């Protein structure tokens, strides 16, 4: 009887702890403001430079007209190369969505390609094919690059800042998710010229 009573007591304690954790979570959610401001991805002075009225289609149709214009483009990395001084990324253009989460979204339509050039170093995991990227930078025009092995002239942007989501081919709003009962967070990072890398909190 003594051991049976102890077992019942331990079950009651565990049950009480679960209720306390649930209550704590409820209180945290209830106390949060109804709409939390998103964490800024880019420095304000860089973000404000971008002319968001310029579409990718306009850039492709008349790249010389937009030479040196600062634009914001989204895409998915499909190739990259790097050396000591510069990184180049080949991206499939994707429209940028602002809600419910900010970032590129694959709508299923056929998209063109563009190249991002960045002076600096980038972690190998951030350059993996399938990762999502948004760049703010100056239009160079159409430049010949050999990221796919054969030189091809593509729309090229020199990045002032860009943001990487390590999605590896998955949509941004798929995260966080669990695999085999393990938490799988979304790692993301901002790179800017002559500025320390900005690592956002893991979601």
The domain spanning residue 67 has which CATH number?
A: 2.40.50.140
Between residues 149 and 124, which one has the greater pLDDT? 124
Total count of domains within the chain: 2
Q: Quick one: pLDDT band at residue 196, thresholds 50, 70, 90?
A: low
* Sign of the four-CA dihedral 155, 159, 163, 169: positive
Q: Which residues contact 159 (CB under 8 A, 6 or more apart)?
A: 116, 117, 118, 135, 136, 137, 191, 193
Both 70 and 115 in a single domain? yes
pLDDT mean over 42-69: 95
Both 133 and 74 in a single domain? yes
Nearest to 164 by CA among 86, 80, 99, 65: 80
The domain in which residue 52 lies consists of: 44-199
Both 177 and 102 in a single domain? yes
Nearest to 112 by CA among 55, 69, 164: 55
Asked if residue 42 has pLDDT above 70, the reply is yes
Measured at the CA of 98, the angle between CA 55 and CA 184, to 5 degrees, comes to: 120
Q: How many CA atoms lie within 13 A of 163 on its CB side?
A: 24
Both 106 and 188 in a single domain? yes
Both 21 and 48 in a single domain? no
Both 29 and 63 in a single domain? no
Asked if residue 23 has pLDDT above 80, the reply is no
Between residues 108 and 129, which one has the greater pLDDT? 129
**What's the pLDDT at 148?**
75
Q: Quick one: pLDDT band at residue 35, thresholds 50, 70, 90?
A: very low
**What's the pLDDT at 15?**
39
Lowest mean pLDDT among 1-10, 89-98, 101-110, 146-155: 1-10
Both 30 and 55 in a single domain? no
Both 32 and 49 in a single domain? no
Q: Are 174 and 155 in contact (CB under 8 A)?
A: no
Between residues 146 and 155, which one has the greater pLDDT? 155
Estimate to the nearest angstrom the gap between the alpha carbon of 115 and the chain centroid: 17
Both 191 and 169 in a single domain? yes
Q: How many CA atoms lie within 13 A of 83 on its CB side?
A: 4
Both 142 and 191 in a single domain? yes
Q: Quick one: pLDDT band at residue 172, thresholds 50, 70, 90?
A: confident
Both 69 and 113 in a single domain? yes
**What's the pLDDT at 9?**
40
**What are the φ/ψ torsions at residue 112 (nearest 5 degrees)?**
-80, 180
Both 110 and 159 in a single domain? yes
């Amino acid at each position: 009887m003594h051991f049976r009573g102890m077992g019942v007591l331990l079950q009651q304690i565990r049950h009480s702890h679960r209720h306390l954790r649930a209550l704590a979570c409820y209180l945290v959610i209830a106390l949060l403001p109804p709409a939390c401001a998103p964490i800024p991805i880019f420095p304000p002075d860089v973000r404000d430079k971008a002319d968001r009225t310029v579409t990718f289609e306009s850039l492709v149709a008349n790249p010389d007209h937009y030479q040196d214009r600062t634009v914001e483009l989204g895409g998915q990395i499909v190739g990259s190369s790097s050396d000591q001084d510069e990184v180049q990324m080949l991206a499939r253009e994707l429209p940028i969505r602002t809600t419910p989460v900010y970032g590129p979204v694959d709508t299923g339509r056929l998209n063109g390609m563009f190249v991002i050039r960045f002076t600096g170093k980038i972690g190998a995991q951030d350059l993996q094919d399938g990762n999502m990227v948004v760049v703010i930078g100056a239009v160079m025009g159409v430049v010949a690059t050999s990221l796919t092995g054969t030189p091809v002239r593509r729309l090229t942007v020199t990045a002032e800042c860009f943001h990487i989501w390590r999605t590896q081919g998955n949509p941004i709003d798929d995260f966080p998710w669990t695999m085999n009962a393990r938490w799988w967070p979304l790692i993301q990072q901002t790179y800017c010229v002559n500025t320390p890398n900005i690592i956002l909190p893991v979601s």
